[in-house]
Amino acid sequence: MKNCKSVFLSPILLAVSITASADPRKDESGHGKGHKHDRREFKEEYWDGECKVKRKLEKNGEYKEERKCKAPRHVHHHAEPVYVLPPPPPVIEPGVTIHGTVRIPQ
């Protein structure tokens, strides 16, 4: 029974491994599908903090990166002190107040 399983399992595993190792970008002749060595021109611009970065990759493989940085803007705003009056003291009248609505004088 074990030999029977290995006889059927071996070709299946072989077929799976062959299809998994196939390169989807290549056709039957072994060449790529319209890609010439997968070389493309590439341009990118972005900001990195205070610096503007320009990257360029040319078809011949030449890579250039250019950075132009601005002076950092450190602006310090000193807030003037604000004087806040303390709340007035509570006025307590003589007598008894029930739930803040009913007042019984003394």
Average pLDDT over residues 23-29: 61
pLDDT band at residue 96 under the 50/70/90 scheme: confident
- To the nearest whole number, what is the mean pLDDT of the chain? 77
Structure tokens at 31: 């060449």
DSSP string, the chain: -HHHHHHHHHHHHHHHHHHHT--TTB-TTSSBSS-STT---EEEEEEETTEEEEEEE-TTS-EEEEEEEPPP------PPP---PPPPPPP--SSEEETTTEEE--
**Residue recorded with tokens 């074990």:** 2
- Does 60 or 4 have the greater pLDDT score? 60
**Where are the chain's structural domains?**
37-70
**Phi, then psi, of 16 in degrees rounded to 5:** -65, -45
Residue 55 has pLDDT above 90, yes or no: yes
Structure tokens at 23: 């390169």
pLDDT band at residue 73 under the 50/70/90 scheme: confident
CA distance 31 to 28: 8
CA distance 16 to 5: 16
